[in-house]
Chain A
Amino acid sequence: MKTLIVPCAGKSSRFPGMKPKYLLTYPDGKLMVEKAIEGIELRDFDRIIITIVKEHEEMYDARIILEQIFGNQSKFEIVVLDSFTSSQSETIALTLDKAKVEGEFWVKDSDNYVKAPIGEANAIVGLNIGTYDHEINRLGTKSFLIVNEQKNIVDIIEKKITSQYICIGVYGFEDTSVFMDAYMKLSKEKNGMGEIYISHVVSYLIGRKICVFKYIEANEYEDWGTVEDWKIVQKKHASYIVNLDGVLVHNRSKYGIMNWDSEFITIDSNVERLKMLSDEGAQIIITSTRDESQRDRICELLKQNGILVHQLILGCNFSPQIVINDFSASNQYPSCSAVSIPRNGNLKDYI
C-alpha cells in the first residue's frame, strides 16, 4: 500500500484576501492543487488523499471542486479536518489517523510543482540549486540538505544556506508509525519546538539514527509559496496581444509598391524578445489589420522564428486597440496593461 497525501489545511496567510490558495487558477486553467501533483507519477500510488478544512469546504465549495477535478479516479479521497492545523506535520498526523493510512506514504506540498522520479521511501525530493537554471525565491527560508556519495541525506539545516541541495516539500516515509512516533515526540517535547515542519521530523529521525533517508533529485520545480511567487508565475504566463505590422515586421500598407504581399522584413530584436517571452510560458496572440488571405504567410513567418502562437486574429480595425479585463485579489490590479511603441521601434525599451 502506497499513499500520497497533499495537505491543504493551512490558512494561506501569505495569500491575503483570496480564496484558499490551492483553489487558485493557474494560467493554464488548472487549479493549484491539480498542478501540484501533475509532476508526480500518480500510477505509483494506491491512495491519493487531499486534506482540507471544514471552513474551506463550507465557504469555498472545496470538496465539490476537488470532486469535479479528481472524482473519476477511485483512488482519490478527501479528508476534511474540523479546524486549521498549526503545522503541516500536524495535518499529516491527523490525516494518517482519520484516513487510517497504513504502510508507506508520501507527502507532496500543495503549493509548488515538482517533477521527480518518486522511488522508495524513506526519501526526500530535493533540488540541486547548482544546476537549476531559474531563480529561487526566498532561498534563506529553505531547508538545506547535505547528501553523501551514497545519496543518503546526512544532515538537514534549516534556513541557512549551507549546501546546494534544498528541500522542496516532497517526503516519503517507509511506514506511518515511523512518522507518527517522531511527530508525537516533537509535538510533546517539554521545551516546545514551535511549528513542527516535516523536515524537523526527518531531522529527528536522521539524528536519532532511526531511519536513513535517500536523496531524490527533482527535474523540474516551480514555487508558489507566496503571492509574489504566484504573481511571477502569472506574469510569466501572461497573454500578450501583439500587433504584427510595425512591431514584429516593418509596417506595410495594403496598397503601394511595398505592400502586404511584399517580403516580410522582421524587426529582429522584437521577434527575439517575443520568442523569449513565449519560451518562458507567455501566451502569444497576434492581431493584424491584414486580411485572411495573409494567414498562411504570417503563420509560416512566426513558426520560422520559433514563436508559438495561440491565436492569430486578422481583419482588425485600422484603429487603436483597447484591452479590457477585470481585476480581483487573485488577478490583481492592473489585470491588463498596454504598450504603445513607435512604429518599427524597439520593444526592449518598453517590456
Chain B
Amino acid sequence: MKTELNGHSGCGLKLFKQYNTVYVKKSSKEIEYNERLKAQCKKQKEYKADKLKVVSVLREGYANGLFYFDMEYISGITLAEYMRNISLSEIQNLTNLLMEHHSRRNFYDRQAKKIFLKKIKEIEQKIDLTNSSIKEAVKILEEYDWSYVIHSNCHGDFTLENMIMANNSIYLIDFLDSFYDSWQIDFAKMLQDIELYWHYRNEKEIDINLALRLLILKENLIDRVLEMDEGEHLLETIYHILLLNVLRIFPYTKEEKTWIFLIAKLDYVKNIIIKKDWL
C-alpha cells in the first residue's frame, strides 16, 4: 500500500504498510538533497524533547542513490489544525506542554551576536533593500545587540504543522539544522504561525474560533516568557528572531500575494519591537 502525504519540500512522503503496520517513508527526490535529509534523520533520532515526543525512526538507507528514512506513522492531526477546535479550557495545558520545550536554563551565549550578524549580512545579499519596510527591518536587526540569546537544544523548524497531536501528546517531525541552536529560535517559529498566521495565510479570513484560540495561546506563552528571569529581554530577542524569519522568506517568495503578506507582517513585528508591545 502506498499513499502520498502532503508536504512542501521536494521530499517524497509516502505511507507504506508492512506486516500490518503502517509507516511513513520520507525520501530525497534528488541527490543534492541527500545530505540535508540525512541530517534531519540524524537529528530526529538523537533529539531529546522531554515532555514532547519525537516520532521514532525505524530504518534508513538509499534507494537508487537517494536517501530515505522510515518512521512510525502517527495517527493524529497537526497542531495547526488542532488549534481550530481546541477546547478553550485545554489551551493552558497545551501552553504548559509547549513551554517544557522552551524553558531552558539561562546562559547567554556571547558568541551568538557574531553568528546572528553574519546571518543578517547573508540575507541582505539576497533581498531587495530598496523597499523601505525591508530596509528598516534590516536596520533594526543590525542594530540589535543580540546579548540575550540562549544556546540550547533546538528543533529547527518548530512550526505548528511539524507537530502532530495524538494521544494527548505532541509528536515532533521534520527537524532542521538551524544556523544557530536556541529554544528562542523555535519559539519565534511558533509565533510565526500563532501570531503572524503564516500557516493560515491562504485562508480568505481567519475563523474567529481559530483567531481567539491562537490569541489565547500566544498570550499564555508570552506570559510564561515574561515570568522568566530577564523575560522581557528574552522576548525582545524572540521578536527580533521573528523579524529575521520573515525576512528570510522573501528570497523564496514568487507570488505577489505572499510578498504583500510578508511586508505587512514585517511592519507588524517591527511595531511590536519598537513599542515593546508584547501583549
Contact = CB atoms under 8 A, between A and B. Distances in A.
Contacts of A156: 88
Interface stretch (A72-80, A199-207, A337-345): A199-207
B215 A189 contact: yes
Contact of A154 (B87, B209, B268, B272): B87
Interface of B is mostly: helix
Interface string A320-350: 0000000000000000000000000000000
A147 to B, nearest CB: 11
A189 B220 CA distance: 15
Contacts of B113: none
Given A154-B87, A154-B89, A156-B88, A207 B213 contact: yes
A206 B238 CA distance: 27
A200 B212 contact: yes
Nearest to A209: B92
A207 B208 contact: no
Interface residues of A, number: 20
> Which size class do B's interface residues fall under?
20 to 34
A190 B272 contact: yes
Interface in A257-272: none
B88 A191 contact: no
Nearest to B214: A191
A207 B211 contact: no
A208 B213 CA distance: 10
Interface string B178-196: 0000000000000000010
Interface in A158-176: 158-160
B208 A154 contact: no
B89 A206 contact: yes
Contacts, number: 51
Given A155-B88, A207-B91, A194 B197 contact: no
A200 B277 CA distance: 22
B60 interface: no
B89 A155 contact: yes
A155 B90 CA distance: 9
Given A190-B268, A208-B219, A208-B220, A146 B208 contact: no
A191 B264 CA distance: 11
Given A204-B216, A208-B216, A208-B220, A191 B87 contact: no
Contacts of A204: 212, 215-216
B215 to A, nearest CB: 6
Nearest to A212: B89
A208 to B, nearest CB: 6
A302 interface: no
A154 B277 contact: no
A241 interface: no
Which one of A159, A203, A207 has the highest number of Cβ atoms from chain B below 10 Å of its Cβ?
A207
A65 interface: no
Given A191-B197, A207-B213, A200 B88 contact: no
Contacts of A159: 208-209
Contact of B211 (A157, A193, A206): A193
Interface string A132-166: 00000000000000100000001111111000000
Nearest to A194: B208
Given A146-B87, A190-B268, A207-B88, A157 B209 contact: yes
Interface string A218-260: 0000000000000000000000000000000000000000000
A189 B272 CA distance: 12
Interface in B192-229: 195, 197, 206-209, 211-213, 215-216, 219-220
A57 to B, nearest CB: 32
Contacts of B208: 158-159, 193-194, 200
Contacts of A154: 87-89
A204 B91 CA distance: 11
- 8 A-B pairs with the lowest CB-CB distances in the bound complex, closest first: A207-B216, A207-B88, A154-B89, A155-B87, A206-B88, A155-B88, A203-B212, A207-B91
24 contacts: A146-B87, A154-B89, A155-B87, A156-B88, A157-B85, A157-B209, A158-B209, A159-B208, A190-B272, A191-B195, A191-B211, A193-B208, A193-B211, A203-B212, A203-B216, A204-B212, A206-B88, A206-B89, A207-B88, A207-B89, A207-B216, A208-B219, A208-B220, A209-B92
Given A154-B89, A191-B197, A206-B89, 4 more contacts: A156-B88, A159-B208, A190-B272, A191-B211
